Amino acid sequence: MRTKSTIAVLVVVLAFYAALIAFKGVAMLASGVLVGRLLGVALLVMPLLGLFVVWREVEFGRRSEVLARALDAEGGLPVDDLPRRPSGRVDRGAADQLFLRMREQVEASPGDWRCWFRLALAYDAAGDRTRARAAARRAISLHA
């Protein structure tokens, strides 16, 4: 719950900041100078782009949470029992073994969102965030 509250506060702050920037952009558009107009357009576009990126990330997190809850309700969510280093990070060798098992499941059932989501969790445990997000996106698309 703390994470959701933090995200909500950050989104509100971003929206406030975007509104301030947009206000300045409108003022620059009214300046009558070509450079001011161009900067005004940029100041209107950048906050919109930032808000879009934040919305996309929040939506990804929401959809991933839906999958995690559904998988947990089915009893298919893997137990986080991997050995950890003193720093708290998962032991790389154990994460790699988990990844290999999950990858075999995906290869056996490439159309099953559950296998893709478990693969995303295994990638995450192995520290490969890029592939974890890609596998999670694939799971989300298969679940929809």
How buried is 122 (Cβ within 10 angstroms: 0-12 exposed, 13-18 middle, 19+ buried)?
Answer: buried
pTM score, two decimals?
A: 0.76
Quick: pLDDT tens for 28-41: 999 889 999 999 99
**CA gyration radius for the chain?**
21
pLDDT at residue number 64: 94
Q: Is 90 helix (H, G, I), strand (E, B) or coil?
A: strand
pLDDT digits (tens, 9 = 90+) for 89-126: 888 788 888 888 888 999 999 999 999 999 999 888 88
Q: Half-sphere exposure of 94 toward its Cβ, with a 13 Å CA cutoff?
A: 10
The three-class DSSP label of residue 18 is helix
